[in-house]
Amino acid sequence: MLSAFANAFRTPDLRKKIFFTLMILAIFRLGSIIPVPNVNVKQVDFCLKQATSGDTQGLYSLINLFSGGALLHLAIFALGIMPYITASIILQLLTVVIPRLEALKKEGSSGQAKITQYTRYLTLVLAVLNSTAFVTLAVNDRLFTGCTGIVYKPDSVFAISVMILTMTAGTSVIMWMGELITERGVGNGMSVMIFTQIAATFPAALWSLRVARPGANGWIVFLLVVALGLVVMAGVIFVEQSQRRIPVQYAKRMVGRRMFGGTTTYIPIKVNQAGVIPVIFASSLLYLPALYAQFRPDSKVSSWIQAHFVRGDHPVYMITFFLLIVFFCYFYVAITFNPEEVADNMKKYGGFIPGIRAGKPTENYLSYVLSRLTFPGSLYLGLIALLPSVAFIFLNANQNFPFGGTSILIICGVGLDTVKQIESQLQQRNYEGFLR
């Protein structure tokens, strides 16, 4: 594996891509620590130290995680990549509902380019809404519980407008840098940037476990968590690589004077066909009652929400989170994998599954296999997503516990995809790859 890394840096064009990606990521991290205008940096740092993990980190845990901690520091890249992710998910769901978008998707590269353009426009709209919401919370001293004075001029319309425009512009720059990485660098740009932001929180999250327990017990807990994390990562990688391969044979057919077909291939159906999207859906939905409690702190409903949902360690929260993940897993798989379309395409090109008749029987068989695979995949996602809550109870960790939830799924998934892309480029030059 070390020789493969050496070969990657010996190849001029691949080395150039790697260094270009690292340069963009360095700029990305720099923008995550530069505050927007009109922010009292010293007061923000004081509020972050005083705030408990359940009151603040738990409420904005998902967005703060994707921003690498830049959200609560009110940096110029505070929103991170979250608006683009949300816009992409919305467009993907609307493609199933709106016939015009479905037709664009079937047009190939030209249609996909238009959908990408729509995603950019929607990203800007969501960035304006998100930045306005968080700036409003900061101005009204509700971003941190019981902490005030984080904005110098809360009554200045011009200063507040500059804060909103700066955060929105930061999201636009992030989107542009992600596309640059995709075109000129290594890996998918947006995914690599998410990977960078999440990985940036690992050292602080791990060290907080050591600091929480002074003496030898702190080191013991620290080493046990690292060992457990490696086991969890190995399990996640194993499941993410697991797939059911359905064999498909294509009959021979004559086109003019040439013979086509007669090949054997397979349809790969992953155990975790939905990826990390169900966890994001469930986290976003559970964020709504916590946001309501933030705006209406004096009501009885808000008190109940604060006690059961905000901290993330209550059984009601954990059960609700798990059930939502299972539901969204089935929902997302149902709208992204269409057995009827796959069966029709196979029938159109003379393909069939051995022992299964073409047409409706093939569709029923694919639906049967997909539903059986989705069940263990949804349970796996639910258990992984609950690891931070379990760590919160037993280890007194915060909601950004690194070895679990969305963070570990994204870290392993993006890492595997990036390594495979580098490996494919190495194999084109007759070098050994990373994975054997």
User: What pLDDT is attached to residue 56?
Assistant: 46
Full-model pTM: 0.77
User: What pLDDT is attached to residue 161?
Assistant: 93
* Residue 28 to residue 170: CA distance in whole angstroms: 10
Say whether 233 sits in a helix, a strand or coil: helix
User: What pLDDT is attached to residue 233?
Assistant: 85
In this structure, are residues 429 and 422 in contact, taking their beta carbons and an 8 Å threshold? Answer: no
User: What pLDDT is attached to residue 125?
Assistant: 93
CB neighbour list of residue 357: distance below 8 Å, 6 or more residues apart: none
* Residue 195 to residue 412: CA distance in whole angstroms: 9
pLDDT tens per residue, the chain (436 residues)? 556 667 777 778 888 888 999 999 999 988 888 889 988 888 888 887 775 444 444 555 666 666 666 777 788 988 888 888 888 888 888 887 888 888 888 787 888 888 889 999 999 999 999 899 888 888 887 777 677 888 888 888 999 999 999 999 999 999 999 999 988 888 888 888 888 888 887 787 777 777 767 666 778 877 888 888 888 888 888 988 888 998 888 877 666 667 665 678 888 888 888 888 888 788 777 777 777 776 676 777 777 777 777 666 678 888 888 899 999 899 888 888 888 888 888 888 778 888 888 888 898 999 999 999 999 999 998 888 887 777 666 666 555 566 667 778 888 888 888 888 887 777 766 555 555 5
User: What pLDDT is attached to residue 403?
Assistant: 66
Note the pLDDT tens digit of each residue in 124-138.
999 999 899 888 888
User: What pLDDT is attached to residue 163?
Assistant: 92
User: What pLDDT is attached to residue 53?
Assistant: 43
Say whether 266 sits in a helix, a strand or coil: strand
DSSP 75: B
Say whether 352 sits in a helix, a strand or coil: strand
User: What pLDDT is attached to residue 92?
Assistant: 82
Q: Give me the domains of the chain, ranges plus CATH numbers.
A: 1-200 (1.10.3370.10), 203-403 (1.10.3370.10)
> 């109870």: which residue's tokens?
393
* Residue 433 to residue 425: CA distance in whole angstroms: 9
List the structure tokens of 393. Answer: 């109870």
Residues in the chain: 436
Q: Which amino acid is at 391?
A: A
User: What pLDDT is attached to residue 133?
Assistant: 86
